[in-house]
Amino acid sequence: MASSEPEPSEWLARGLSRETRLRRDRDGRWWDGDRRVEHPGVARAFDAWIDRAPDGRYCLRNAIHWVYVTVEGAPIDVRAVHPQPDGSFLLTLSDGRHEPLDPATLRLDGDGALWCDVRGGSMPARFDRHAMVGLEPWLEDSDGGPVLRLGSRRLALTVVDDPHRVRAGET
C-alpha cells in the first residue's frame, strides 16, 4: 500500500521541512536551539515521542506528525532497574515505559557507560547513574572485564565503538 506521506522533496517544494532545532543533549535534556525546554510536560512528551525516521535518523513522532531532532547522547535513558523473582530485570525508561532487560544487548561505550536495546530491540538506551547503582549488586570484575551475574550464568560486557547501533539480531 502506498504511503500518503509526502516525499521530502515535496515538503521542500512547499516551503516546509522536517528539520528542527530540537536536540536532546548528553544529559537527556531537551533544547530548542539555545533555549532549554523547561516545561516538564513538553520534555516528557518529547521523551515519549523519540523514534527513528524512515531514513534512520532520530525524530519525534506522534499521532499527527514527525520531525527530525538531534540526539547528542542516548535517545532513551534507563532510569531504574528492578530485579524480578525469576532472576531477570525490569527497566524503567525515560520515555515512561517499563520493559524487561534483554541481557544479550548489554554493552559498554568507551567511557564505561552501560547501554542496552529497548523497544523490542529497535532503540538504544543508556543506563543513568541511578540505574547503574541498581544493577551494581549483579556486576562483577573478571580478568576479561566486567561481567553481569544472571543466576548461575555470567555475561561478559563488551566495549563497543558505537553504542547507538542496536544489537538485536546480531550473531
| Domain definitions of the chain by residue range | 8-71, 76-156
Query: What pLDDT score was predicted for residue 143?
Result: 81
Q: Where are the beta strands (DSSP E) in 12-160?
A: 22-24, 30-32, 35-36, 50-52, 58-61, 66-68, 70-71, 76-83, 89-93, 98-100, 107-108, 114-118, 123-127, 139-142, 145-150, 153-156
pLDDT at residue 8, as a whole number: 52
State the 10-residue block means of pLDDT for the chain, 171 residues long. 52 59 94 94 94 91 91 95 91 96 92 93 94 91 84 86 71 33
pLDDT at 12: 44
pLDDT at residue 4, rounded to an integer: 56
Predicted pLDDT of residue 102: 93
Domain boundaries 8-71, corresponding CATH code: 3.10.540.10
Q: What pLDDT, on the 0 to 100 scale, is given for residue 10?
A: 55
Q: What secondary structure letter does DSSP report for 24?
A: E
pLDDT at residue 101, rounded to an integer? 95
Looking at residue 11, its pLDDT comes to 45
Residue 7 has a pLDDT of 57
